[in-house]
Copies of this chain bind each other. A is one copy, B any other.
């Protein structure tokens, strides 16, 4: 029942993708407002983290599912964006997220990777972990469809 590894090593067609991703991320008012930081970035993979604050909670004091969703969606979008050409914009078509455990901890970590990289559409997965000291709890998983809009550079 062994499956072939479905995480191919992707190659970016734009060598300057890191600068492009960081610049776009810095323009997202919401990420700043949530205290989110882009902590890892490579072709086809992104990690985003946010420290615990009362401003990010749901009614029981855990991280709100909306924060998990925002970080995971953003990580999926930029994981896809690393593989796009310089003249393209990135657009989330849709995503689905399952919540697996309460997001309780000092930090929320969203890790996304591209699963299938088509010309127009890229399918991505993200997993969200809540870190407490050194232990990480897997608290959510996302499956997302991201679109590449050619000829519309990603500017405000």
Interface of A is mostly: mixed
Return chain B residues, CB-CB under 8 Å to A127: 3, 6
For A, the interface residue count at a CB cutoff of 8 angstroms equals 64
Considering the chains assembled together, what is the distance between the CA atoms of A57 and B55 in angstroms?
Answer: 17
Return chain B residues, CB-CB under 8 Å to A91: 99
Contact B65 A92 (CB under 8 A): yes
A64 an interface residue at 8 Å Cβ cutoff? yes
Considering the chains assembled together, what is the distance between the CA atoms of A25 and B60 in angstroms?
Answer: 10
Q: Nearest residue in B to A81 (C-beta to C-beta)?
A: B59
A16 an interface residue at 8 Å Cβ cutoff? no
Return chain B residues, CB-CB under 8 Å to A56: 29-30, 33
Some 18 contacts from A to B, beta carbons below 8 A apart, are A6-B141, A28-B58, A28-B64, A29-B64, A64-B70, A65-B73, A65-B92, A66-B73, A67-B70, A70-B70, A91-B99, A94-B97, A98-B116, A98-B123, A98-B143, A98-B145, A120-B147, A143-B143
